[in-house]
């Protein structure tokens, strides 16, 4: 492979371009109208404009991206994550055009992209799944039969509509006595909302932790599992902070989960990078959740503790190389790594997106810090795409050093012109629950509810004094490039006041 087209934008496009450059491979960027000046375009060797700002007009256009690859004689395509990364038609279109798709086969994407098929694959590989009923329970299934199933699954159970979504036809049942009325309610809600009363049962895992296993599979039958990542700090099911290793997993559990994850991947002939996600309950039982058939956003923390470049290996696997990685190095973390996803969001306004121009940017550095970013001073964060601007990663010899370094780096990080989630992370990294790793997937949403919008940056007297002082001097200095506020100089203002009196 000599030239790779990167079918993405933002920080992940930059990440892939860097891996290519490390390997002496040329790169082709694609871009939409508003990304003409974006960093990935300027870093790449070649760039092709593929359309309008809406993703459907550019980054999701299979035809234009494949055409761009042909035009530039690229021989490989890296999809990054998001956009077309888990679209089997895109993978197939690349293959059919004679391009190497840097990811799994179209069949593997299709199979593991289906929740039910993936669950079947996990069960066949002997991996625990969240206990539940495998067949839909139609209106003809008597309540007494459902009660028997619930007993076998174990309480608490969730009743869910087969045709469901959005919480409709969903009921939590904590004891057998509640089952009958909950079943009737769930069925009638499902009938009303979806025209289908069929439901299924699933064990409710209380306060689970999100644990996932990174995998690499080559085309010669080797599947390599990595040390787990914990991603339990989530806001509305979106990961916010990830770390590796998990503070609650010992080597014995790690090896079991890793071996199960690898078994699932092997059973479907999986190749390239992928991740098996599990829920871990409070008793230490884990259950297969789903598989992501792509590179993950949080892949850098795994790279930090194993020293293995996952993106380079994606490329090497795609060009047919054998996985020449020490299995022990992949599963044994060296130190600890944490990632904060820095979003262009106003954390104090309910994490509302805050697109716009970055007026000034101070990026942290120093020991143990890695900032995978697509942003820069003077650059725009467009309104059309995911507002992730950077992934800040801290590595330490142990968890407490990683936390200390992350706090230091967050303190140095300054993004001027748009709001970011950095103030939230500064607050989060100070919380005793975080420091002591007492969290689960619903933890952050619960905490945010109880805080009820209290600002993340405490009003410290010293900081306010300095802001007052700076604002006053800023005002006195009058109009100049540093003063975006006041077009009128104090001199002119004073002269005008005099004049007006006359």
Residue numbers annotated as active site: 294
Per-residue contact string for residues 423-452; x = within reach of another protein by CB under 8 A: x--x--------------------------
Nearest distance from C-beta of residue 392 to another protein, angstroms: 13
From the list 194-202, 231-239, 262-270, 466-474, the region that binds another protein by CB under 8 A is: 466-474
| 336 touches another protein (CB under 8 A) | no
The residue (of 192 and 383) whose beta carbon lies closer to another protein is 383
| 467 touches another protein (CB under 8 A) | yes
Nearest distance from C-beta of residue 464 to another protein, angstroms: 5
Report whether 345 contacts 353 (CB < 8 A).
Answer: yes
Beta bridge partners of 49: 31
The residue (of 401 and 486) whose beta carbon lies closer to another protein is 486
Q: Quick one: which of 404, 407, 401 has its CA closest to 422?
A: 407
Nearest distance from C-beta of residue 488 to another protein, angstroms: 7
- Give dist(CA 190, CA 306) in Å, integer: 47
Nearest distance from C-beta of residue 418 to another protein, angstroms: 8
| 499 touches another protein (CB under 8 A) | yes
Nearest distance from C-beta of residue 413 to another protein, angstroms: 6
Helix (H/G/I), strand (E/B), else coil: 161:
strand
From the list 17-25, 174-182, 332-340, 471-479, the region that binds another protein by CB under 8 A is: 471-479
Q: Quick one: which of 268, 290, 293 has its CA closest to 86?
A: 293
3-state secondary structure 179-233: HHHHHHHHHHHHHHHHCCCCEEEEECCCCCEEEEEEEEECCCCCEEECCCEEEEE
**Residue spans of alpha helices (H) in 324-421:** 327-331, 399-412
> Using CB under 8 A, which residues numbered 214 to 243 contact another protein?
none
> Using CB under 8 A, which residues numbered 351 to 390 contact another protein?
359-360, 362
| 469 touches another protein (CB under 8 A) | yes
Pairing of strands 223-225, 209-217: antiparallel
Nearest distance from C-beta of residue 451 to another protein, angstroms: 18
| 181 touches another protein (CB under 8 A) | no
Pairing of strands 26-32, 3-6: parallel
| 485 touches another protein (CB under 8 A) | yes
The contacts of residue 231 (CB under 8 Å, 6+ apart) are 210, 211, 212, 239, 241, 242, 298
Nearest distance from C-beta of residue 499 to another protein, angstroms: 5
Among 144, 177, 324, 500, binds another protein (CB under 8 A): 500
The residue (of 236 and 501) whose beta carbon lies closer to another protein is 501
Among 142, 166, 350, 502, binds another protein (CB under 8 A): 502
- Give dist(CA 31, CA 44) in Å, integer: 11
Q: What is the DSSP letter of 377?
A: T
- Give dist(CA 350, CA 365) in Å, integer: 29
Report whether 420 contacts 354 (CB < 8 A).
Answer: yes
Report whether 25 contacts 49 (CB < 8 A).
Answer: no
Q: Quick one: which of 4, 223, 30, 28 has its CA closest to 100?
A: 4
**Residue spans of alpha helices (H) in 268-326:** 299-306, 310-318
Report whether 232 contacts 210 (CB < 8 A).
Answer: yes
Nearest distance from C-beta of residue 431 to another protein, angstroms: 17
Beta bridge partners of 47: 29
Q: What is the DSSP letter of 419?
A: -
| 177 touches another protein (CB under 8 A) | no
Per-residue contact string for residues 386-425; x = within reach of another protein by CB under 8 A: -------------------------xxxx-xx-x--xx--
| 476 touches another protein (CB under 8 A) | yes
Among 2, 70, 438, 463, binds another protein (CB under 8 A): 463
Q: What element of type H or E holds 3? A: strand 3-6
The residue (of 73 and 475) whose beta carbon lies closer to another protein is 475
Report whether 162 contacts 136 (CB < 8 A).
Answer: yes
Among 24, 195, 432, 481, binds another protein (CB under 8 A): 481
| 493 touches another protein (CB under 8 A) | yes
From the list 61-69, 83-91, 180-188, 463-471, the region that binds another protein by CB under 8 A is: 463-471
| 174 touches another protein (CB under 8 A) | no
Question: Interface residues with another protein (CB under 8 A)?
Answer: 359-360, 362, 411-414, 416-417, 419, 422-423, 426, 457, 459, 463-478, 480-486, 488-502
């Amino acid at each position: 492979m000599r030239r790779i087209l990167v079918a993405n934008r933002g920080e992940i496009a930059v990440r892939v371009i860097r891996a290519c450059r490390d390997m002496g491979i040329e790169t082709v960027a694609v871009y939409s109208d508003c990304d003409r000046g974006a960093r990935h375009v300027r870093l790449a060797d070649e760039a092709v404009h593929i359309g309008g700002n809406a993703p459907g007009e550019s980054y999701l256009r299979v035809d234009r991206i494949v055409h761009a690859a042909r035009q530039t004689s690229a021989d490989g395509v890296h999809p990054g994550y998001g956009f077309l990364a888990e679209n089997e038609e895109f993978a197939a279109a690349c293959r059919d055009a004679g391009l190497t798709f840097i990811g799994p086969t179209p069949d593997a994407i299709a199979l593991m992209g289906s929740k039910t098929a993936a669950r079947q694959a996990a069960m066949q590989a002997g991996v625990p799944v969240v206990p539940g009923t495998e067949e839909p329970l139609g209106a003809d299934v008597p309540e007494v039969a459902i009660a028997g199933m619930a007993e076998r699954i174990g309480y608490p159970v969730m009743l869910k509509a087969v045709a469901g979504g959005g919480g409709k036809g969903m009921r939590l049942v904590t004891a057998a006595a509640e089952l009958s009325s909950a079943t009737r309610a769930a069925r009638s809600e499902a009938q009303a909302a979806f025209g289908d009363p069929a439901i299924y049962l699933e064990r409710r895992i209380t306060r689970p932790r999100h644990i996932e296993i990174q995998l690499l599979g080559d085309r010669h039958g080797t599947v390599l599992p990595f040390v787990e990542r914990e991603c339990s700090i989530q806001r509305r099911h979106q990961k916010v902070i990830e770390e590796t290793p998990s503070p609650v997993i010992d080597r014995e559990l790690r090896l079991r989960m890793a071996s199960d994850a690898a078994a699932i991947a092997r059973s479907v002939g999986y190749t390239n990078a992928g991740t098996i996600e599990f829920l871990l309950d409070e008793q230490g039982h884990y259950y297969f959740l789903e598989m992501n058939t792509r590179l993950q956003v949080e892949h850098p923390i795994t790279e930090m503790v194993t020293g293995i470049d996952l993106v380079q290996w994606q490329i090497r696997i795609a060009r047919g190389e054998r996985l020449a990685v020490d299995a022990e190095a992949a599963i044994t973390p060296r130190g600890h790594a944490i990632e904060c996803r820095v979003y262009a969001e106003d954390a104090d306004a309910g994490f509302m997106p805050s697109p716009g121009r970055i007026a000034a940017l101070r990026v942290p550095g120093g020991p143990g810090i890695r900032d995978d970013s697509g942003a820069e001073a003077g650059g725009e964060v467009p309104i059309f795409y995911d507002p992730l601007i950077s992934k800040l990663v801290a590595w330490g010899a142990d968890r407490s050093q990683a936390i200390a370094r992350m706090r230091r780096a967050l303190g140095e990080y300054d993004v001027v012109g748009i709001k970011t989630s950095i103030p939230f992370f500064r607050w989060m990294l100070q919380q005793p629950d975080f420091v002591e790793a007492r969290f689960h997937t619903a933890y952050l949403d619960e905490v945010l509810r109880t805080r009820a919008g209290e600002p993340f940056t405490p009003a410290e007297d010293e900081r306010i004094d300095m802001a007052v002082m700076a604002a006053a001097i800023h005002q006195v200095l009058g109009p100049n490039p540093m003063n975006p506020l006041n077009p009128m100089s104090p001199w002119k203002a004073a002269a005008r006041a005099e004049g007006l009196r006359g």
